Structure 1
């Protein structure tokens, strides 16, 4: 059996790729999302109730569809990263990366020795198709895509060095955490925050890496697409459901308060 191609990595060709956060933590909801037509979706293990078995079931559920899955780990734990890779994660996003040393450690967590510290699961793992992929250990890195998140003042200060780390394929900017870290909570469009996002974007592209961002508000998403961001999350499934539910209820109950738009993040 051939090593499966990573559809997310293959799609990073310079055009904006639009995705959606999957936060319900169930395969049923993620499969529905995969039928819509988003280029990619994030199975969120940081802020959603997604332990390893839940991530596995969602990877299996969305596998037949064109929407490429990205899995976000909750932290930098190499043991957790090993498990996520072993169940078949090919594109991994890791939050709160502040230094090049942290980024380098994450690269090593995704590589087998002598280039890293990933443990060998062999026939026990879905990633190897239970030993059906003969050269998996030698070639796994070719189809892995590591995305590190820069979402703090310190991360922005070190973004050039982070983006330059070999083995980092993309850098994702987190506007909510970034704005909060600089004392502008809930204000990702503040000029100070926007300057930092622009600096991050320019640094990422100068390093030849893919740049991503979360932008549920339409104006923000369009602006970031014009800048040249490679992958943009334009929705969050939980927020979309809540918004639609409120709009439906408002047709029948006049006192229903409906938000005027998507969260700015």
Structure 2
């Protein structure tokens, strides 16, 4: 019995464009509600959301039971953190702030077992192997791991071509907010220079044959990203969606007061 099929990886490999959402509330019950919405993929955020390994695991469980494919974003690309995320069953990882091909190569090694990498061999006691119920896990796990790297600084863009040559990097995600800030335009995601850099980067990624991704909550920007060839695009964030809806509900309710 091989490792489970990674639906996110196989659908991207088939050339699909996948629309997703950011899951940042840090709660499995909330993640389960989002998982009923029908998105192609959901990003469980360990970088900017109040998550630890156990809360990521609880959200991973509920998303896996839905039609949405889970992707886990770690706060950093440390080998030990990647090992733990893979062992709890994450098959698609997104790693922030990648700024060199050497860094990307290190990440590739971290998601692969020896002799092709340096992922620690301990899955026999882990959820990833169904606690040893998948006898062929060690031999088949590498093929089902999807690795995405975030390029979100000028330094990263400067070496984007080099990062794209790294075998084992499956996708490159452009981080608009960090990139805008690094370019000297914090909060100005629609600044012409930021927009030009993002759209050019997406086209370069697509030309390399790797999947380009981005988070755009603005529909026009999201539409442009898809038109430029981006194939994993998140269009909303649970935190801001809930915040906007509950504030609107409060305003409407309070307006009823005599």
Q: TM-score range by the shorter chain?
A: over 0.9
Q: Secondary structure at the match of 1:246?
A: helix
Per-residue deviation at 1:118?
0.6
**Contact 2:28/2:55 (8 A) holds in 1:** yes
Q: Deviations over 1:45-78 (max 9, x none)?
A: 0001111111111111222111000000110110
* Higher relative helix content: 2
Which stretch of the first structure deviates more once superposed, 66-75 or 199-208?
199-208
List alignment gaps of at least 5 residues for structure 1: 255-265
- The aligned counterpart of 2:41 is 40
- The aligned counterpart of 2:174 is 173
CA distance in 2, matches of 1:213, 1:150: 10
CA distance in 1, matches of 2:131, 2:10: 24
- The aligned counterpart of 1:261 is none
Per-residue deviation at 1:250?
2.3
CA distance in 1, matches of 2:182, 2:90: 30
- The aligned counterpart of 2:81 is 80
Q: Secondary structure at the match of 1:196?
A: helix
Per-residue deviation at 1:26?
1.2
CA distance in 2, matches of 1:243, 1:137: 45
CA distance in 2, matches of 1:148, 1:57: 24
- The aligned counterpart of 1:250 is 251
- The aligned counterpart of 2:106 is 105
CA distance in 2, matches of 1:215, 1:16: 15
CA distance in 1, matches of 2:88, 2:253: 46
Which stretch of the first structure deviates more once superposed, 120-129 or 148-157?
120-129
Q: Deviations over 1:23-52 (max 9, x none)?
A: 111111111110110110000000011111
List alignment gaps of at least 5 residues for structure 2: none
CA distance in 2, matches of 1:151, 1:252: 41
CA distance in 1, matches of 2:47, 2:130: 26
Say what the alpha-carbon RMSD is for the aligned residues.
1.1
The answer to whether the aligner puts 1:134 opposite 2:135 as a matched pair is yes
CA distance in 1, matches of 2:140, 2:115: 13
After the TM superposition, which segments of 4 or more aligned residues of structure 1 sit over 6 Å from their partners? none
Q: Secondary structure at the match of 2:127?
A: coil
CA distance in 2, matches of 1:137, 1:167: 17
Q: How many residues align?
A: 254
Which stretch of the first structure deviates more once superposed, 230-239 or 190-199?
190-199
TM-score (normalised: structure 1): 0.93
- The aligned counterpart of 2:147 is 146
CA distance in 2, matches of 1:135, 1:127: 12
Matches within 5 A, 1:220-259: 220-253=221-254
Q: Deviations over 1:163-192 (max 9, x none)?
A: 210000000000000000010111122111
- The aligned counterpart of 2:2 is 2
Q: Deviations over 1:76-119 (max 9, x none)?
A: 11001000000000000000001111000000011111111110
Which stretch of the first structure deviates more once superposed, 12-21 or 152-161?
12-21
Q: Secondary structure at the match of 2:72?
A: strand
